[in-house]
Amino acid sequence: MSPILEVEDVVRTFGAVRAVDGATFAVEEHSVTGLIGPNGAGKSTLFATIAGSLKPTSGRIVFAGRRIDRTSAYRVARAGVVRTYQAARVLTRMSVLDNVLLASKGHPGERLLGAVLRPGASRDHERAARARAHELLALVGLEAHAQAYAGTLSGGQRKLLDLARVLMLEPSLVLLDEPMAGVAPALRVELLEHILAVRRDRGITFLVVEHDLDFVMQAADRVVVMNEGRVLTVGTPAEVRTNEQVVDAYLGTAH
C-alpha cells in the first residue's frame, strides 16, 4: 500500500497561536484513518488546510503525487479530495435531489455559456446525473425524501445526504469531520456501515476526525493522534489505545 495523502511538517498559525505546529503523517490508500486528539489539538485546522480552505503557513501537503497546499478549495475538491463538515452543510432551501445533483462533476450546464449554447449537452448530462443521484439516494435510504427541501431533514439524515453528495463527486479521498456528532444512535450504525461499504466497493480512502473513540476503534485501520498542533503518535487502534502518551494527552498528565 502506498500513501495517497502526505502531510509534511505543516504549520498553520493564527497570529501568535500555532494551531498546527509541524504535523507530519501519511494516509494509506483505501484505508480508514482516524484523526483524534483532545480539543484544541489542531485537527479541524489541519482538516481545513488539507481541503484548501486554509493555506498552511509552511509545510507541504501532497495528494496522489501532486502538491495541493497552494490550491484553492474548489480545485482540491475537483482533484478528488472532498471534505464534509461537522454539521452537514446541506443546502436547506433546495430539494434533497438538487443537493446531490449539485455535486455532479463537469456539468456543461453549470457554465452560463454552456447552459445557453449547448442545451443538448446540458440536458444529457443532467439526465445521467439524475439517474445517478437517485441511485445514491437509494443507497443511503433517502430516496423517499428526494423532492423534499433538505432543510426538513434531521441532523442524521443530513449526514446521509452529505455522504450521497460526496459520493456523487467520485472522490478518491474523503475527509469526514465528526461524522457521528449529532447523529441519533440508531442512525450511527447505519452511517458506519455505509462508510465501510463505500470503502470496500468504491475503494475510497477516508480520513476521519471523530471524538467518538468507539467509532474510531471500530472503523479505523490506523489512527493518527494529535496534541498541541503536533502528531503524537500513529498506529493501529490497539496500539494507540495502550500508548501512555495518548492517555496523558487525553486525561492530562496529572491523572
Partner 1 sequence: MSILASGGFWAFVGVVAGIYTILSLGLQVQFGFAGLLNFGQVGFMALGAYTMAILVVKEGWSMWLAAPLGVAAAAVGGLLLGLPTLRLRADYFAIVTIAFSEIIRYVATNETSLTGGTQGTIALGPTGTASQYNGQWAAFQTHLQHSLGFSSADATMLVIVWTVGVVLLTLVWVALRTPWGRVLRAVRDDEDAAASLGKNVFAYKLQALALGAALAGVAGLFYAWEFSFFSPDDFEPLLTFFAWMILLLGGLGRVWAVPVGAVVFGFIFAGTRFLNFAPFTWVASDERAYIRLIIIGLIILVLVVLRPQGLLGNRREMVLE
The reply to whether 224 sits near partner 1 by the rule CB under 8 A is no
What pairs with residue 21 in β-bridges?
A: 11
- Cβ 58 to partner 1, closest distance in Å? 23
Identify the CA nearest to 44 among candidates 234, 186, 226, 188. 226
Q: Cβ of residue 108: shortest distance to partner 1, in angstroms?
A: 8
| Contact positions with partner 1 (CB under 8 A) in 94-113 | 94, 98, 101-105, 107, 109-112
Binding flags for partner 1, 119-158, as an x/- string (CB under 8 A): ---x---x----------------------x-xx------
**Bridge partners (DSSP) listed for residue 20:** 12
> Any idea what the Cα angle at residue 71 is, between residues 68 and 75, rounded to 5°?
100
Spatial separation of the C-alpha atoms in residues 239 and 122, rounded to whole Å: 51
User: Three-state SS string across 44-57, please?
Assistant: HHHHHHHHCCCCCC
Q: Is 163 in the site for partner 1 (CB under 8 A)?
A: no
C-alpha–C-alpha distance, residues 161 and 223, integer Å: 26
Position among 30, 78, 134, 230 found at the interface with partner 1 (CB under 8 A):
78
- Residues at the site binding partner 1, with contacts judged by CB under 8 A: 51, 53, 72-75, 77-78, 82-85, 89-94, 98, 101-105, 107, 109-112, 114-116, 122, 126, 149, 151-152, 165, 169
